Amino acid sequence: MARGPSLANKCQILFGGAILVILAGALGVPWMRLEQTVDESQREMSRQLAETWVRNGFDLNRSEGIPIPIRVVTVERIEEGGIADLFVEQSYRQFVAEPKDEEFFSTVTSENGVVYRYAHALRESQWRAIQDRQFVDFAPHASELSLGDPLRAILVIERTSAFAAAQIQANRWYLVVGWVVAVALAVVVFSLILTKLIFSPVRRLRASAERVRRGEVHVRSALRTGDELEELSRAFDGMLDEVNSVQTSLRSMNESLDLKVVELSEVNVGLFESNRLKSEFLANVSHELRTPLNSIIGFAELLEEIARADTHADPKRVRYISNILTSARMLLDMINELLDMAKIEAGRMSLAVVPVSVADILEGLETIMRPQAMAKQITFVATVDKELTSVETDPGKLQQILYNFLSNAVKFSPAGGIIRIDAKPIGVDARPAVRISVSDEGEGIPADLQETIFEKFRQVDASHTKVHGGTGLGLAICRELAQMLGSTVGVVSELGRGATFFVEVPVYFRVKERKPLMSQSEGAR
């Protein structure tokens, strides 16, 4: 960025311009009044000559050997057109138009100087007082004697004064020179004052700030001007002291944080290893538990078959064996859920993506769930859009998600209820997808729990006296599986109006790209 003028240059330019304007305005009045003053003095001099001539009535054409240009022009000569003088004609018209006016004055600039022309009106009263037949014929005219005080003649004085013009020019030069000297002195004095009182302290503050910017935080300006700049310097130095204190505190905190980070990294490594061992242990234990549990279920089914075939068997025996089978199957479902979650956390869950038909999956699930639904007299109503095409996904994982939805719907629906299954194409983020939803007629889910039920070990009824069993991992597994498939799961529900669980599966499977950690950290910055 280009640097502009310095503060000193700005102040000098602005102050110099202000002084120029102020002095020009202040000297403009004397400049204009100078010529008017000289004209007024010349007019007064001509007036005095005219009054002297009128009072004495003698020949003033010469005074001490210097001719004085005084002449008298009668009204008759003017009216007869014998005077070809524009000034005399102008003065005559003025005196006639304004009887109260006694004089008329004008200036004309010539090569020899300024010509001052003065005209004095001679009325009847003055005309009689200065009668002198040696110079003028003052014979009275009968026609004019009858008038009150008419104009009889005009006294004209024309004087050329080279001295007055020279005085005007000289005085104007004095004004210009004085103006220039005043401006120069004002700028110099102002510059010295600003340099001493403002610019030098400001430069010291700027130099201190530059050194601080380079990292020298121990620099202090320490101005002693006794004004606001000293207060600014104290505030600046106090800020630097605070910065030093904060930097010292931050340095100690950073050292402590470094130690904490090292400790946390060690603890994190231990936790990661513990979690890995836990997941492996849980997977291994769950796998090992399923083998004897499958044997228990198999022998229990065999015993149940024998008991049902024996007509003399005790009815309690059949009921007890049925309870054993139900509990064993529930335990197997729990173990399967724990095993699936352990595989997901351990990263052992793999995908087999192939094109599958949503209608076929729904048909198979309906067949699997029909025995459980018939036990509660629940009816399935499936609606599959005719325009629905196949999707690229892992059919086993998608079937597991929908199985959990259907299992929960059967579990929470009242006897004789209806479960609706709906599948239709939608667009998600400008990508074609399929929305599969399962709606039940259960009690519904509160709004504040609709998000938390997808977390691990979270259920709507988490009390010890809950009616429905389960580990609380079913929906959490559904969310994890959906993320692996690039899908999303959700729920829409109101209390007393049932719940609708849905999964949105993209038509075309895309492998999720994982960004490098360095690029993620750089983007976060």
Contacts of 35 (CB under 8 A, 6+ apart): 168
Q: Are residues 267 and 345 in the same domain?
A: yes
Q: Are residues 309 and 337 in the same domain?
A: yes
The pLDDT tens digits for 441-497 are 888 888 878 777 887 766 655 443 344 545 567 788 888 888 888 888 889 888 888
Give the Cα-Cα-Cα angle 513, 516, 519 (nearest 5 degrees). Answer: 115
Residue 205: inside a domain, yes or no?
no
Structure tokens at 294: 């499958």
Cα–Cα distance, 317 to 325 (Å, whole number): 12
Instruction: Give the per-residue pLDDT at 322.
Output: 80
Residue 70: inside a domain, yes or no?
yes
In Å, the largest CA–CA distance within the chain is: 186
Instruction: Give the per-residue pLDDT at 429.
Output: 60
User: Domain ends where: 349, 379, 407?
Assistant: 349
Residue 41: inside a domain, yes or no?
yes
Cα–Cα distance, 6 to 23 (Å, whole number): 26
Structure tokens at 160: 């050329």
On the question of pLDDT at 179 being above 60, the answer is yes
Residue 515: inside a domain, yes or no?
no
User: Domain ends where: 158, 173, 188?
Assistant: 173
CATH of the domain at 435: 3.30.565.10
Are 482 and 349 contacting, i.e. CB atoms less than 8 angstroms apart? no
* Helix/strand/coil percent split, the chain, to 5: 60, 15, 25
Q: Are residues 46 and 161 in the same domain?
A: yes
On the question of pLDDT at 352 being above 80, the answer is yes
Instruction: Give the per-residue pLDDT at 502.
Output: 92
Q: Phi/psi at 425 (nearest 5 deg)?
A: -80, 145
Q: Are residues 228 and 285 in the same domain?
A: yes
Residue 117: helix, strand or coil by DSSP?
Answer: strand
The burial class, CB within 10 Å (0-12 / 13-18 / 19+), for 450 is middle
Instruction: Give the per-residue pLDDT at 459.
Output: 60
Residue 206: helix, strand or coil by DSSP?
Answer: helix
Q: Are residues 268 and 386 in the same domain?
A: no
Cα–Cα distance, 506 to 243 (Å, whole number): 56
User: Domain ends where: 112, 141, 173?
Assistant: 173
Q: Which amino acid is at 218?
A: H
Instruction: Give the per-residue pLDDT at 511.
Output: 65
Give the C-alpha distances (Å, rounded to integers) separating 198 from 190, 206, 207: 11, 12, 14
Q: Are residues 394 and 430 in the same domain?
A: yes
| HSE value, Cβ hemisphere, 13 Å, CA-based, for 210 | 6
Residue 43: inside a domain, yes or no?
yes
Are 432 and 393 contacting, i.e. CB atoms less than 8 angstroms apart? no
Provide DSSP, 58-79.
Answer: S--SEETTEE--EEEEEHHHHH
Side by side, the strands of the sheet bearing 113-123 are: 70-74, 151-161, 113-123, 103-110
Quick one: what percent of the chain has pLDDT higher than 70? 79
| CA proximity to 54, closest of 129, 156, 118 | 129
Q: Ramachandran region of residue 40, left (φ > 0), alpha (ψ -120 to 50) or beta?
A: alpha
The pLDDT tens digits for 196-238 are 777 777 777 777 777 777 777 777 777 777 777 777 777 877 7
Instruction: Give the per-residue pLDDT at 144.
Output: 43
What pairs with residue 428 in β-bridges? 431
Q: Are residues 301 and 413 in the same domain?
A: no
pLDDT band, residue 63 (cuts 50/70/90): very low
Cα–Cα distance, 103 to 120 (Å, whole number): 4
Cα–Cα distance, 19 to 127 (Å, whole number): 58
Q: Which element (helix H / strand E) includes 359?
A: helix 358-375
Instruction: Give the per-residue pLDDT at 207.
Output: 77
Instruction: Give the per-residue pLDDT at 296.
Output: 83
C-alpha 444: how far from chain center: 47
Residue 200: helix, strand or coil by DSSP?
Answer: helix
On the question of pLDDT at 499 being above 80, the answer is yes
On the question of pLDDT at 178 being above 60, the answer is yes
What is the b/e burial string over 350-372, where b = at least 16 CB atoms within 10 angstroms of the residue's CB? eeeeeebebeebbeebeeebeee
Q: Are residues 391 and 288 in the same domain?
A: no
Cα–Cα distance, 391 to 399 (Å, whole number): 13
Residue 441: helix, strand or coil by DSSP?
Answer: coil
Instruction: Give the per-residue pLDDT at 461.
Output: 53
Q: Are residues 26 and 151 in the same domain?
A: yes
Residue 6: inside a domain, yes or no?
no
Q: Which residue has the higher pLDDT, 63 or 308?
A: 308
Cα–Cα distance, 169 to 175 (Å, whole number): 10
Q: Structurally, how many domains does the chain consist of?
A: 3
Instruction: Give the per-residue pLDDT at 465.
Output: 36
Instruction: Give the per-residue pLDDT at 124.
Output: 79
Are 219 and 211 contacting, i.e. CB atoms less than 8 angstroms apart? yes
Q: Are residues 377 and 463 in the same domain?
A: yes
| CA proximity to 393, closest of 289, 281, 511, 284 | 511
Cα–Cα distance, 124 to 151 (Å, whole number): 6
Q: Are residues 129 and 52 in the same domain?
A: yes
Which domain covers residue 150, as residue numbers? Answer: 11-173
Q: Are residues 445 and 362 in the same domain?
A: yes
Residue 23: inside a domain, yes or no?
yes
Instruction: Give the per-residue pLDDT at 73.
Output: 83
